Amino acid sequence: MMRKIKNWMLSVAHLARSAADRGMTTSEYAVGTIAACAFAAVLYKAVTSAAVMSQLQSLLKGALDAKF
């Protein structure tokens, strides 16, 4: 009997979780897309800046000139 009650409680909990999280609405997709694009723009600007570009070049040069 306890096993049946436990299984029933687990199934109710599972249904409650899945009902509360059915997915994003269109407005949430729009906000998420805009946020992702803004983050990509900031990241692009940071990576293409002169300071970061010189650090990346020195890092790659050091890696390619490594002696084994």
- Cα gap 37→48, rounded to integer Å: 16
Q: Is the pLDDT of residue 35 over 80?
A: yes
* pLDDT tens readout for residues 17-32: 655 556 667 888 899 9
Q: Is the pLDDT of residue 9 over 80?
A: no
Grouping H, G, I as helix, E, B as strand and the rest as coil, residue 67 is: coil
The mean predicted confidence, pLDDT, of the chain is: 82
Q: Show Cβ contacts of residue 56 under 8 Å, excluding neighbours closer than 6 positions.
A: 47
pLDDT at 45: 93
pTM higher than the cut 0.85: no
Angle at 24 between CA 19 and CA 30, to 5 degrees: 170
Contact between 62 and 54 (Cβ < 8 Å): no
